[in-house]
Amino acid sequence: MRTMYGELVDYAATLPDVKPYHQETRFTWLLQLGADGSLAARELTELTTSTSDRKGRSKLVVGVWHSTPSVVRSSGVEALVPYDGLGYVLGWCDESSKPDRVADSHQAYRDLVIEWATHEGVDDPIAQALQSFVHQSPEIQRPERWTSKDNVLVQVDGVNAHAAPSLVGYWVRHVEERKGSGEHGTCLICGRSGALIETIPQMVKGPYVPGGQSSGVAPISINAAPFGFDLTVGLVHVPICTACARSIPLALNSLLSDERRVRRSKDAATTWWIAGETQFDVFTLLDQAREEDIASLFDSVGSGVASQGQMDVARFNSLVISGNGPRLVVNDWTSLPLDELRANVAGWFYDTEVEPLGQGGHRHQSLWLLATATGRFDVDRGRYLPLGDTAGHHPHGIQESLGTVALHGSPAPSFLASHLLQRIRADHHVDDQRAALLQLALRRNYRKGTLMPGLDLTCTDPCYVAGRLFAIYADLQYAAATADGGTAPNATFADKHLAGAIADPRTAITAGEKQAAAWLNKLRRRKGDYFYQRDIDQVVSLLQPGRTLPVRASTEEQAMFVMGYHHERAHRSHEREAARQQRLLLGADAEPTTSPTQN
């Protein structure tokens, strides 16, 4: 059986060779030593890099980055080698630090350097030079501004000390002795026998994980009795070998640092990879939703023909993660054969396909736009408030939730339909995106598999029919008001009644019936009926005897009302465009053969 951590270990094996237990670290100061460990300079050198802002102006940034030894530190004293903070390397104590702790930290650094120099580094000139330095403890001039936590890079005779040839071997041994359990056994991840660890030696970088602490998050952690089996601290009952313990944070940091393989939101980060050669980029497809790419996906899934470069062994993996302080939270893990993934994504686009309202609209919507449409619609700006805007009232983690639905082929979130209906009633706004999400929920959660992406002239569902009637009444009012150059009403029939009609379609349709006669008479006097009475009669005829409109509609019934409303509006919009094109061909005085609709 494949596990999430097993997939991460396999991915780490595909990465270029990296030094174990190393991590990119920012250094503020440079300490220069001679070949014999004496000071090459009596003061520290501030490390800076040059960069440019958006206007092309050059500026200096304090600090440079190097890949150096790293390990998860507990709350106690634990030194690194050959670099560390000024408190560890030089014993400098600033005003906010505790002198006793800094003294212990400095001694721990000295002990670590001596251990390195007397074992793996006995023939290493850099290790020997550092040992001479810590024995001498020379006085170094202090800069004006510094803290005990500022990292100091060490150079020996112009060479970075972390490039010492014996350092990697020593550091691996030290870390695995320090973090190991002292036991041998069968690894729960790879199934091989080997030395087992007590805690994961490295963290996933904090800035990569929304909600995680800045110093990093632990991918696996049992550091308190309530979290462990039989109230046991450590990974005693979760046997993990040292090789897998190295690979897990390595894989996660590699994936989360690659902007091509990660998508971040306020709530979580999503990363993905494919085991096997393929050209299929699922998240680009979901985010861009280009019609030609979707058509190609439909053809491929329907014919069973794999895309160029795809192998049968290809397997897709995706992780949605966040942080809870020092711990990694896995919100979702997807691991699927690529053929199954393609079928699921094709099903997503099939179930969210809707007839667009406007002539320039699209039948398929990008996933991020659908997620955005769950929030508040700003009428003044004519757009949705962006994800992450607290005033938008988007459901927590909605983009990740919809992504999971798309990848797994699972039902829509249980709250989706009711939340969307509440937002539609509050905003008085229905568009292609919201209709697509309601259709997804109706098909997958309410088993409305026969619901069409466009107008269904044969559907007799009372609420769907009521939604169509409501759209016709709204269109009729607008047509009557604007006939012969009239102005549109300040408050339309839809403005007044849409919110109530969704929850109580019977009352709204009754109101429309009462006002329709006056609108029809006005339209006939000024410009002709344009078949509105015919359209109303045809739709009313679909209401079967004995099936009355509900006074209090359920969530499913409300969603069907909105779909009928949207489908009728889209259909009439396309009819209007067809009539306009017909007039252009036949001349301005030609009589239309279809009913015009509201702009």
Are 287 and 217 found together in one domain?
no
Domain boundary among 134, 169, 204: 169
Please say which residue of 261, 291, 315 terminates a domain.
261
Number of domains in the chain: 4
Whether residues 303 and 221 fall in one domain = no
Same-domain status, 223 and 334: no
Q: Which residues contact 136 (CB under 8 A, 6 or more apart)?
A: 37, 38
**Considering the domain boundaries, does residue 66 fall inside one?**
yes
pLDDT score, position 529: 60
Residue 575: per-residue pLDDT = 86
Tell me if 395 is assigned to some domain. Answer: no
User: Would you write out the chain's pLDDT as a tens digit for each of its 599 residues?
Assistant: 678 999 999 999 988 888 888 888 999 999 999 999 999 999 999 998 777 767 777 777 888 999 999 888 777 788 999 999 999 999 999 999 999 999 999 999 999 999 999 999 999 999 999 999 999 888 899 998 999 999 999 999 999 999 999 999 999 999 988 888 888 999 999 999 999 998 888 899 999 999 999 888 999 888 777 777 777 778 888 899 999 999 999 999 999 999 888 999 888 999 999 887 667 889 999 999 999 999 999 988 875 555 444 444 688 999 999 999 889 999 999 999 988 999 999 999 999 999 999 877 899 999 999 999 999 999 889 999 999 899 999 999 999 999 999 999 999 999 999 999 999 999 999 999 999 999 999 999 999 988 999 999 999 999 999 999 999 999 999 888 887 777 888 888 998 999 999 999 999 999 999 999 898 888 887 665 668 888 999 999 998 776 678 888 999 999 999 999 999 999 999 888 887 777 788 765 555 554 544 43
pLDDT attached to residue 592: 52
Q: Is 31 inside any structural domain?
A: yes
Q: Residue 266 corresponds to which tokens in the numbers above?
A: 């306020």
Domain identity same for 501 and 559: yes
Place of tokens 């009539």: 579
Whether residue 379 contacts residue 426, with contact meaning beta carbons closer than 8 Å, is answered with: no
Last residue of a domain, one of 347, 369, 402: 347
223 and 90 share a domain? no
Same domain, 150 and 187: no
Let me know whether 241 and 292 are in one domain.
no
Task: Please state, in angstroms and rounded to a whole number, the distance separating the CA atoms of residues 175 and 164.
Answer: 17
For residue 202, the Cα-to-chain-centroid distance in whole angstroms is: 24
In sequence order, what are the residues at sequence separation of 6 or more whose Cβ sits closer than 8 angstroms to the Cβ of residue 452?
Answer: 459, 567
Q: 446 with 493: CB under 8 angstroms?
A: no
Same domain, 480 and 510: yes
Identify whether 294 is part of a domain.
Answer: yes
β-pair partners for 318 = 272, 334
**What's the burial of 415, exposed, middle or buried (CB within 10 Å: 0-12/13-18/19+)?**
middle
Note whether residue 373 is domain-resident.
Answer: no
- Using CB atoms within 10 Å of the CB of residue 30, give its burial: 0 to 12 exposed, 13 to 18 middle, 19+ buried: middle
Contact 400, 332 (CB under 8 A): yes
Query: Are 562 and 527 in the same domain?
Result: yes
In a shared domain, residues 311 and 296: yes
How far, in Å, CA of 89 to CA of 142, rounded? 13
**Same domain? 503 vs 568:** yes
Confirm if 232 and 183 have CB atoms less than 8 A apart.
no
Q: Burial level of 49, CB count in 10 A (0-12/13-18/19+)?
A: exposed
Would you say residue 329 lies in a domain? Answer: yes
Distance (Å, whole) CA 433 – CA 373 = 6
Residue from 200, 187, 301 nearest 245 by CA = 200
Look at residue 578 in the predicted model and tell me its pLDDT. 80
- Contact partners, residue 250, CB within 8 Å, separation at least 6: 12, 15, 18, 202
Residue 595 lies in a domain: no
Q: Which domain holds residue 575?
A: 462-586
Same domain, 189 and 128: no
Does 354 reside within a domain? no
